[in-house]
Chains A and B, each alone.
Chain A
Amino acid sequence: MPLLSIAIWLPIAAGVLLLAFGRDERAAAVRWGALLASIASFLVTIPLVTGFNTATAAMQFVERQPWIARFNVWYTLGVDGLSVWFVLLTAFITVIVVVSAWQVITERVNQYMGAFLILSGLLVGVFAALDGLLFYVFFEATLIPMYLIIGVWGGPRRVYAAFKFFLYTLAGSLLMLVALIYLYYKSGGSFDILAWHRLPLALDAQTLLFFAFFFAFAVKVPMWPVHTWLPDAHVEAPTGGSVVLAAIMLKLGAYGFLRFSLPITPDASHKWAWFMIALSLIAVVYIGFVALVQSDMKKLVAYSSIAHMGFVTLGFFLFDAQGRGNELAVSGGIVQMISHGFVSGAMFLCIGVLYDRVHSRDIAAYGGVVNTMPKFAALAVLFAMANCGLPGTAGFVGEWMVILGAVKVNFWIAALAATTMVWGAAYTLWMVKRVYFGAVANHHVAELKDVDRRELAMLSVLAAAVLAMGIYPKPFTDVMHASVAQLLRHTTISKIAP
């Protein structure tokens, strides 16, 4: 059964149907339809993991059809250990997003739900595409629904944020398009990503390709200094938009480094590893400080996302003296991507829960929430702990693996990276203290009602995922192992033709 195609096209088809036939008068039907479609799309992805063969690094569930004969473009799909979890994560987060919008979105419900379902299908497509052009089409197409989501349902500065988001990411990816076409030419007319992994390339060509990919993916991750679109987009986007942005769209950039930069331009990756490490450390340390001074909760979590994604890129570009990548660090980076998907998504949902009641994201507008919303506060504090990397939660595993990997390469890099444990705790816990603890600050907080069953369910599912991943991460790392080892073999072999 073409599971991946179903996982891509089922939500897209459902989204198109909702756009075509949904009306605000039938909002309840639209919501249930969207929920059913998102759950069905998620169920379809489960066999991808249960049926996954962890012993091989080869692509699995491969589908291959000719698409554009003139340019030898194929509709090729497949997943390996690097990508399979993100397919699941995407489908899972979409279910949560649909639930989170249940009572909050009351206008143009069908367009909201439709946009998220279509976006979900496109994102799965990005992770599953094995053809360079197919990847690019999905990668770019995701901009359209997200642009509309931010612009239509966003906050006061939504137009500015939507344009900034679109143009920033488009600027990066257009250079990647030229790089893809160059690889197509160099490989004798093929867009096959796996064939590109074996393609010999001179160092100058690799350097140019590396930077073309760097701009596309660094903007998406986002790495310092091209991160400035993210706080704007996060703050202005509706809750669902922030969740998908943080949980999945940021992962596209990091995934791109794994799929394109490292294996296609290994020599340039070695040469410029110092540059990547430097930018990642700046993200970890400097952005950590920036997060500390935020007065807006969403902005704080947005900056904390940048810092956490800095860990991911740091893990990917740690090479030892022999030019071998560090398996622990790379796997750690991927684990961090998944855990950040759960944790940051949950953090934004918590802010959404508060915002729906008080209509403010200002930290100063709250205080003593625990007194009026005890159930909610317990969950929120759990996610905050995960965000600062407390052992036993998902946030800890990835960071720990990256730091361990870094120690083997260079102690000082590891030491600087490890300071995140301090900054992360500082900005997260300080926010927790000011928002949740203490005496009830004002009448808004005093009138708060605790989470209802819908909110409780969606947050509990995420809490279970965060704890499960923190206590027993082995299923995640097992799936990755073979593919990461294969990736590292690729990056060790020089591609400069003798």
Chain B
Amino acid sequence: MNWQAVYPEILLLAAACLVALVDLWVKDPRRLVTYSLAQASLFALALLQLWYFADGFTLYAMQRMVVADPMGHLLGLFATLAMMVTLVYARPYAAEREMLKGELFSLSMFSLLGILVMLAANNFLVVYLGLELMSLSLYALVAMRRDSIPATEAAMKYFVLGALASGFLLYGLSMMYGATGSLEIAEVFKAIGTGQINKSVLVLGTVFVVAGLAFKLGAVPFHMWVPDVYQGAPTAATLLVGGAPKLAAFAITIRLLVEGMLGLAVDWQQMLVLLSVGSMLLGNLAAIAQSNIKRMLAYSTIAQIGFMLLGLCPGVVSGNTVSAVNAYSSAMFYVVVDVLTSLGTFGMIMLLSRVGHEAELIDDFKGLARKSPWFAGVMAVLMFSLAGIPPTVGFYAKLAVLQSLVSTNVPGFIWLAVVAVVLSLLGAFYYLRVVKVMYFDDPIDSHPVAGTADARIMLSLNGAAVLLLGILPGGLMQMCAQAIVQMFAT
């Protein structure tokens, strides 16, 4: 058996258990030991995945239950980095809110383990296993502030709707199993390819799988949990929900729909088009009306996910998969960029929050350019990136997706690109409004921008990354393309 394929998961599992155990002996309220141990093991994990990705191998292990391929390694690398950045932002925030317990670190690491399991899944059950591991850890993390009513309410909503989504997904997967007789993704792909299978069962199964995935991604009409959870959860937990898990949701979408059910692409692409246009429309319109920045960012996430889903639509054009690499790698680039930007925006919210005050309202950003020109600049870069204005990386993410649509030369897809840009124009308004309150308005209080040194440095790096990747986006694009090319090669 190829243990090498699962070394990252083993490493993370051991580290998470170790962190949970070590924390029992830590008396320090700042949890420095636990924190450093968690960060160090995540760093080692990131290095391991970088090495695996650079190596570019594809390995199957555990009776082909799991696969270690470059796409999994690259997304795993980004998920690990996202988790490290999240913990840097979360630590001072959690310390001020009595959330800084060992569980914050061990549960975060377990949710990352769930993500890695999903990334490595080559079997329907493993997908589900990873999904549940991630989700259960996240439910607990959202509820960590036990005495906060909005947080417990958010956790409840997240749990109930998340369980419903898992049910959908499981139901769809069981139908696929019933129709094809296999749980292994590659076998399902082959079985569908024979064309001997009852189409109506397959299509019904696809509908449930897509609905389950849409729930997890937060696409309209399965988006209802997103605004409530984003707003209600403590911001650190919001970032845990809205950061790395998006990469996992993208990965299982690729694993299930592309690797398993590419033969049914005609069916699921139509569903994705509807989900995507609906998400962009509702997300962008609803975000305009928000005064709470976390809720606004939740709706903006819905819109961004809609844009990302567009990239999954033009993979198969009239039975031809020539444009598949182009399409899926653009979607992958989009989701990576979206996570990078989300990290920064929620990091900013945590930076501005202080004891007894959550910087949750857009008005809390008023006059930031006077109080701290530097962090106002960082936030402005992030907002312009979300709006897709060059020279920030968000522009190239949109460009890549639009390019994959237009390059099909199918009029329907070209018009879809026009719809997408018109809807992203709506989006520009509310992102600009954040820049407006920071730069054009006067501050409403005189609290200086505090924050620990590591969070401030990380936030500056995060903003710089958005800007620098906007000036030189080629490398990251190439990595995403390489990962998808190798996925199709095997």
Contact = CB atoms under 8 A, between A and B. Distances in A.
A143 B432 CA distance: 11
A71 interface: yes
A111 B400 CA distance: 33
B477 A174 contact: no
Contact of A181 (B406, B432, B478): B406
A185 B436 contact: no
Contacts of A348: none
A68 B395 CA distance: 13
Interface in B368-397: 369, 373, 377, 384, 389-391, 395-396
B103 to A, nearest CB: 41
Nearest to A212: B418
B377 to A, nearest CB: 7
Interface in A1-33: 19
Contacts of B414: 178, 182
Contact of A159 (B402, B409, B436): B436
Given A69-B474, A158-B440, A175 B377 contact: no
B419 to A, nearest CB: 10
A178 B432 contact: no
B436 A70 contact: no
Contacts of B389: 140-141, 143-144, 170
Interface in A159-182: 159, 162-163, 166-167, 170-171, 174-175, 177-178, 181-182
B474 to A, nearest CB: 4
Given A175-B421, A181-B399, A170 B428 contact: yes
A67 B473 CA distance: 9
Given A67-B474, A151-B440, A181-B403, A136 B418 contact: no
Given A111-B373, A151-B440, A181-B402, A174 B424 contact: yes
B395 A140 contact: yes
A193 interface: no
A178 B390 contact: no
A140 B474 CA distance: 19
A185 B326 CA distance: 13
A166 B428 contact: yes
Contact of B473 (A19, A68, A147, A184): A68
A158 B439 CA distance: 12
B395 A185 contact: no
Contacts of B472: 67
Contacts of A163: 429, 432, 436
B481 interface: yes
A159 B390 contact: no
B359 interface: no
B425 interface: yes
Nearest to A158: B440
Contacts of A70: 474, 477-478, 481
B429 A178 contact: no
A456 interface: no
Contacts of B452: none
B27 to A, nearest CB: 42
B407 interface: yes
Contacts of A178: 402, 406, 414, 417-418, 421
A148 interface: yes
Contacts of B424: 174
Contact of B439 (A71, A148, A174): A148
B422 interface: yes
A137 interface: yes
A127 to B, nearest CB: 17
A341 B481 CA distance: 45
A59 interface: no
Contact of B403 (A67, A71, A158): A71
Contact of B440 (A136, A159, A175): A159
A152 interface: yes
Contact of A184 (B403, B429, B432, B435): B403
Contacts of B474: 67-70
A72 B440 CA distance: 39
A178 B424 CA distance: 13
B314 to A, nearest CB: 12
Contacts of A185: 403, 406-407, 409
Contacts of B396: 68
Contacts of A68: 396, 473-474, 477
Contacts of A67: 472, 474
A152 B439 contact: yes
Given A140-B389, A185-B409, A174 B425 contact: yes
B135 to A, nearest CB: 34
18 contacts: A68-B396, A111-B369, A137-B391, A140-B389, A140-B390, A141-B390, A144-B384, A147-B435, A148-B435, A159-B440, A167-B425, A170-B389, A171-B425, A175-B418, A177-B402, A178-B417, A181-B403, A184-B403
Top 8 closest A-B pairs, CB basis?
A: A174-B421, A137-B390, A68-B474, A151-B440, A70-B477, A181-B406, A185-B407, A140-B390
Interface of A: 19, 67-71, 111, 133, 136-137, 140-141, 143-144, 147-148, 151-152, 158-159, 162-163, 166-167, 170-171, 174-175, 177-178, 181-182, 184-185
Interface of B: 369, 373, 377, 384, 389-391, 395-396, 399-400, 402-403, 406-407, 409, 414, 417-418, 421-422, 424-425, 428-429, 432, 435-436, 439-440, 472-474, 477-478, 481
Given A69-B478, A133-B399, A159-B440, 9 more contacts: A67-B472, A137-B390, A137-B395, A140-B389, A143-B389, A163-B432, A178-B417, A181-B403, A184-B407
